[in-house]
Structure 1
Amino acid sequence: MKLISTVVAALFCAHSYAGSLPLTPHLYVQGNAHMQVQPDQAVIRVAITQKSKSLPEAKTTVDDIMANAIAIAKSHHIRVDDIHAEQLNVYRQTRYNRTTNQEEFEGFRVSRALTLTLKKLEDYPVLLQKLVDAGINEFNNTQFEVSNRSTLMKDLNKAAIKDAKLAAKELASDFEVKLDGLYSVSFSPMETPRTPYARAESMKLMHASSGNVEQAYNTGALTLNAKVYAVYTIDN
């Protein structure tokens, strides 16, 4: 019986750590929620890089390819606000000659980066091919996203809060104690060395269907997650 009392005390009444937990008996729980959604837009990051000993020649080539790439993006109904062409970057390249012990000029490396937000995912494969044909030679990263992410996350946060309430009731019931009230809540982990209690199964919201990814390189579904951390005091 004494051992059980010691375990309960360790769970409910640890020292306050950085002011995030109360000194009175309490429960520290974690609420979780997740949702799988289909992406409905893609952020495409590409670039054109040209090397030449003639700087004007390299710059002209890069500018022409970039102009064509922007025209291609507009032809796929990408808005001007979703087209971001960066400034020209120029690097003078040299190579160390071990025979002469001197740096030798090799040429100029000229590049420009382009970021596009495509909101018609079925155009993704065709758009990439057109960019390649236009002379784009660097594909840095494509990030698939959902346009209504903020709205979905609000719903997920509410579900995570509901899950935290259930976790608190579940834990209180297991130890046959009564919840007194909510002490604090945060969407970031509390400053404590202890791990919060979480239910075995987190709240799962219904699948949210957005874009048609079957034709967009089979990108698959995205998983959105929300977590909330709550401290409840218990009735002595």
Structure 2
Amino acid sequence: MKLKAIVLASVFTLGLPSFALAASEPEGPHITTSGNATIKAAPDMATLNIQVNERAKDAAQAKKQVDERVAKYFAFLKENGVVKEDIDAANIRTQPNYEYDKKAERSVINGYTATRTVNVKIKKLEQLNTLLDGALAAGLNEINNVEFGVNNPEQYKTKAREVAIKNAIDQATSVAKGFGADLGAVYSVSYRAPEATPYPIAQVRMDAMALKAQAPAAVQETYEQQSIEFKDYVDVVFELKRTK
């Protein structure tokens, strides 16, 4: 998997107090830098969100029909190597359907709809189309979205942090040298931990009937595997030494 690092950094002060970090700065000559990094990764996994709806005269029958379709898809997933731990389909909802009775001049129940959602984690992207086709064949009639991600996000978080730290050091070293000084010891570090989900997730929403009508080649083109970004930031205060 290829990695691409985009690095941005800015120098806030050189031997001057910063109001934002005044409490964490030394009295002597110093430099404050901010290292930023963005690591881009190509997705290698995806999560499917699929829904099935069934209507029937009574709620029990609607639920039964939905459960049968989900069970059929479960069997298909098992045949294709998807483990139970990567499937979530525990939720189900039933609700009455109403129509207006002109004679009674009121709304009356004319049946029930059962809805069940299935989330499937796909750890091998080459299975994506196959598992989508299997969902449609099993009667799961609405594909809500496809969320792309990576199987091991921690390696990218670590890489982003390392690049941000290196960037702060490189910027501080370069600027200090330009002013005839050497970088001294680290006086303080202010680390801004990234968010729990530090990257935008590419999403695709598809209508089941439209998906069925497309040729396999056209279906593949609907999935744009956008780069996923992992960001990190760090502020560092270095002491300065005069160049001998």
Q: Does TM, normalized by the shorter one, top 0.5? A: yes
Question: Which amino acid in structure 2 is aligned with residue 220 of structure 1?
Answer: Q
Deviation at 1:167, TM superposition (A): 1.9
Q: TM-score, normalised by structure 1?
A: 0.71
1:229 aligns with 2:240: no
> How far did residue 228 of structure 1 move?
2.1
Structure richer in strand, relative to its length: 2
Paired AA for residue 15 in structure 1: F
- Which has the larger displacement, 176-185 or 76-85? 176-185
Matches within 5 A, 1:57-136: 57-94=61-98, 102-136=106-140
TM-score w.r.t. the length of structure 2 is: 0.69
Name the counterpart of 2:38: 34
Gap runs ≥5 in structure 2: 1-11, 195-218
Q: Partners of 1:143 and 1:103 in 2: how far apart?
A: 39
Residue 152 of structure 2 corresponds to residue 152 of structure 1? no
Alpha-carbon distance, 1:131 to partner: 0.8
Q: Residues 73-104 of structure 1, C-alpha deviation per residue, up to 9 Å, x if partnerless?
A: 11111011111112321123445779966443
Question: What is aligned with 1:181?
Answer: 185
Aligned to 2:167, the other structure's residue is in SS state helix
Aligned residues: 203
**Residue 43 of structure 1: how far off its partner (Å):** 1.1
Q: Contact conserved, 2:31 with 2:172, CA < 8 A, in 1?
A: yes
- Are residues 1:49 and 2:53 paired? yes
In structure 2, how many angstroms separate the alpha carbons of the residues matched to 1:112 and 1:37?
A: 33
Query: Could you tell me which residue of structure 2 aligns to residue 142 of structure 1?
Result: 146
1:6-45 to 2 correspondence within 5 Å?
12-16=16-20, 21-22=24-25, 24=27, 26-45=30-49
- Range 215-224 or range 178-187, more displaced: 215-224
Using the TM superposition, name which of 79-88 and 224-233 deviates more.
Answer: 224-233
Amino acid at match of 2:84: V
* Counterpart code for 1:61: Q
